[in-house]
Every structure is written in C-alpha cells, then in structure tokens.
Structure 1
Amino acid sequence: MTGKHTWAIPEGYIPAESTGPEPEMESHETVCILNTNDEEATVEITVYFADRGPIGPFEKTVPAERTRHFRFNEFEDPEKIPKGEDFASVIESDLPVVCQRTRLDSRQAENALLTTIAHPGE
C-alpha cells in the first residue's frame, strides 16, 4: 500500500482574519489524507506549540480508497486550535496513508494558497 503510518507537519498557522465568504474563502490550515488501502484508516492528529504542551489527539477516519481534507480550524475536541498562533502537528495512522498540508490565507483581498507534502516517518 501507499504511504506511511506517521507524518509530521512542522509548520502550521491559522490566520486570525479572513476577507472572503465563509466557508470557502475562510483562512484555514488543512491536512489532506489519502488512504489507498481497502480498509478504513483511523488517524490521530496531535498539535504542538512553542510555548505550551500539545493538544489532542484529534481522531479522524478516512474511508477505504478515499481522500479526506480536515481543516485544523474546525477541530474542537479535545479543544480548539487557536488562530494566529504557530503550531506543528504529527499524524499517526493505523494503516499507511499519504499526508499533505494546505493553507489558505485570505487576510487580504489577494488570497495566498500554499501547499507542501508532510514529512513521512519511519
């Protein structure tokens, strides 16, 4: 199968402001997870900060042979991820998956979109 069990995204940030219509153009940070397995994957996402302990894990599922995009600014349990604060994340899956992160920054009318592949673990 394609992927790894552990992925790290060392850079994360949810802009505190947005100029576009919600939810499409709301500033956000997203992890995209691809599951090519023939079984549902359960993933746990832990979020790390520079000045305090981590929060999570946030448990998510990705159906077999599907992809899911999860917006960090929609995570609520066990607690919300603060906007306007740097963070990092580690994604751990019971099955091998592929992870990528995307940020939409719509603080200005000229939107910025960036995406990078997450770093795969062993």
Structure 2
Amino acid sequence: MSTVVGARKMAITEGCVPGDRLCLVNLSSKNAHVELTFCAEGQEPLGPFRSTVPAQRTQDLGLEDLARPADLSPSTPYAVVVVADTPMIVQYTPRRAAVPPAA
C-alpha cells in the first residue's frame, strides 16, 4: 500500500521574520528540488531561492540562509511560498525568545 505524504505547493503565511526556521521534510525516495519565495506587503517578492533536500532526509533552513541578510528587513513579516518537484512537508518554527541564564 502506498500513501503520499506532503504537498508540492505550500504557503507559510504566519509572518516569518529573519531568525525563524523552516524544516523541509522529504519522505520520497528521490531528491526534492525546492523553490522558496518570500512575499511581504508592499514589496516585490524575493526569490525564488533554490535548495535540494536529499531523499528521505530533512533540511533545516532559516530565511537568512537563503536570502542575503541585507535583503531581509528584521521588522518585516514575510509569507513563504514553497514549491517542490516531489511532495514535501514544511514545518515552521518561530525564533525562540532569549532565555535568561539561571541564577
């Protein structure tokens, strides 16, 4: 029995900012070629930025891993459009607040 998990086109609309992470999950038996485009209100889209996720592996990326940091405003929330040539799962993780050291 074969069950496809994931999608070829996804959008993260939660307002990603530099420092946030995307975990790309490729459960297929072939490498996944992925394009990510950042969109923000009142700005031209950035990208597409390309990445390859090996077969049956994950890849953890930050917005600043793809785009030049100078192109990303730290105060601008971005939607991220993900297009892949094989079904993928994308998990969005917002940056963690700094935890003060224990006293």
Residues 66-116 of structure 1: CA deviation (Å, up to 9, x unaligned)? 011111122236x7322121110110000011111001143x546xxxxxx
Q: Distance in 1 between matches of 2:58 and 2:27?
A: 8
Q: Distance in 1 between matches of 2:11 and 2:85?
A: 15
Q: Distance in 1 between matches of 2:16 and 2:31?
A: 28
Superposition deviation, residue 13 in structure 1:
3.3
- Any unmatched runs of 5+ in structure 1? 16-27, 111-122
TM-score computed with the length of structure 2 as normaliser:
0.82
- Contact 1:34/1:99 (8 A) holds in 2: yes
TM-score computed with the length of structure 1 as normaliser:
0.70
- Contact 1:74/1:80 (8 A) holds in 2: no
Secondary structure of 1:51's aligned partner: coil
- Contact 1:14/1:73 (8 A) holds in 2: no
Match of residue 101 from structure 1: 92
Q: Distance in 1 between matches of 2:99 and 2:86?
A: 40
Q: Does 1:76 align with 2:67?
A: yes
Secondary structure of 2:67's aligned partner: coil
Q: Which has the larger radius of gyration?
A: 2
Superposition deviation, residue 37 in structure 1:
0.6
Q: Distance in 1 between matches of 2:34 and 2:72?
A: 17
What is the number of residues matched between the two proteins? Answer: 96
Which of 24, 28, 31 is residue 22 of structure 2 equivalent to? 31
Q: Does 1:52 align with 2:55?
A: no
| Structure (1 or 2) with the greater helix fraction | 2
Superposition deviation, residue 44 in structure 1:
0.2
RMSD after superposition: 1.8
